[in-house]
Amino acid sequence: MKTIHIYKLLTVVLIFGLDLLSQFKSTEACSCMPEHSQAAYCKSDYVIVARVLRRSNRKHQNNYVYKIDIRKAYKMNPAAERYLKQGRIMTPIDDSACGIKLEIGQLYVFAGSDYHVNLCSFVRKYADLTIVEKRGIAGSYRKGCTCKIKPCFSTICHQSIGTCNWTPWRKCESDYGACIPSRGYYTPEGTPYKCHWRRSPPYNECLENP
């Protein structure tokens, strides 16, 4: 009887351990480096505001297919124009593959280089954007695309040429920051030597009332 009890106990521990391991792997699979909204804008082939109309009952290669209505196209290269022509966005079905759930009827901002989106993609509800972010995706971020936004996870970060340091948990740079070139500091190739966070009224107000 004692042997059977120990066997059952080991079985429970093993199942519990495997469950924890599967959760860990799922989390690891969806680990994403934080990305500033300006960086997402600058690197993407398209930046659109679209309403999610419905999710198709038919799945495509382990992906959900969402039908969208593009309301604004703030940035769109010819390739993106072709693959977004049918108004479809796909995302993995499984959470372990970083799939996301889109709310039907909601207006979203999508920025990317493919019609596939996941947890690491720039997908945000339009209503959740700040006024600076809304103006940014509408085109003002373009002024700073020659600058790079470098994530900084310590109290002291070296400022590289042509970059703005960004600490993701700092609200002012994250929600109200736009990284732009400083005047008069350019290389012969036109790359800025120095960039800084634009001191807009919302940004200044955030600094005064963090």
Give the pairing type, strands 63-76 and 88-92.
antiparallel
The C-alpha atoms of residue 163 and residue 4 are separated, in whole angstroms, by 64
C-alpha dihedral (34, 40, 45, 50), degrees to nearest 10: 100
Residue 98, annotated as binding a ligand:
no
Helix, strand or coil, per DSSP, at residue 35 = coil
- The conformation of residue 110, written as its DSSP 8-state character, comes to E
Nearest to 50 by CA among 112, 97, 98, 93: 112
Q: 210 Cβ partners below 8 Å, 6+ apart?
A: 171, 172
Q: Which amino acid is at 11?
A: T
Which residues have CB under 8 Å from 98's CB, separation 6+?
29, 30, 32, 92, 118, 119, 120
Q: Cα dist. 62→51, 90, 105 in Å?
A: 23, 10, 23
Q: Which residues are annotated as a binding site?
A: 30
Q: Which residues are annotated as a binding site for Zn(2+)?
A: 30
